[in-house]
Amino acid sequence: MSDFFSKIVLASHNQGKIKEFQNLFLPYQIEIISQASLGIKEAEEPFNTFIENALQKARQASQASGLPAIADDSGICAVALGNLPGVYSARFADAEHKSDQKNNQKLSQLLGQTTDKTVFYYCCLVFITHEQDPTPIIAEGKWFGKWSLEPMGENGFGYDPHFYLPEKNMTVAQLEIEEKNQQSHRAKAFHDLIKKLKLTYEIFPN
């Protein structure tokens, strides 16, 4: 295996996400290093699309570390609202004082006025070999559900208590954590990324 890919920096300060990526790449003997451990600050996310924000984060992490980088951007989208909150999911109700409770209340208020309660979680992953990589690998995952005006479940966070899965007859917050991690939008994006990396680089055997 090339030393060039022996380490990849992850543009995240989230310990749970870091552990997920480390486990994902474990079979390929690739070390995932968090940008936090390298003293790299979180990037600004000024764009209106997940792809642009993820690419921005990956480029900053790669430039600061000199390593290949992976970044993700994710959120919830309501079809009846033109896929909002989208990239504003974490700060939907209040940009300065982020609050899951306020975000859920605002989305419930808006979707309570619509007949279409279709929502989906979306995750975009970007992999680049260096800051100026002209061919970033972009992977995505979607997880569809219906918005429940009443919260249910204690296991999730963010919008999970309202994200109802008709096929399971429960919300994401009622799922076991292991099941959520296997079915989530991020898990789907993980698999999409690995599939594309295998098609591009020999160090990812089929």
Active-site residue, selected from the candidate residues 3, 72, 73, 94: 73
Q: Is 79 left (phi over 0), alpha (psi -120 to 50) or beta?
A: alpha
Q: How many CA atoms lie within 13 A of 194 on its CB side?
A: 15
Strand 31-34, strand 69-78: pairing: unpaired
Catalytic status, residue 73? yes
Instruction: List the catalytic residues.
Output: 73
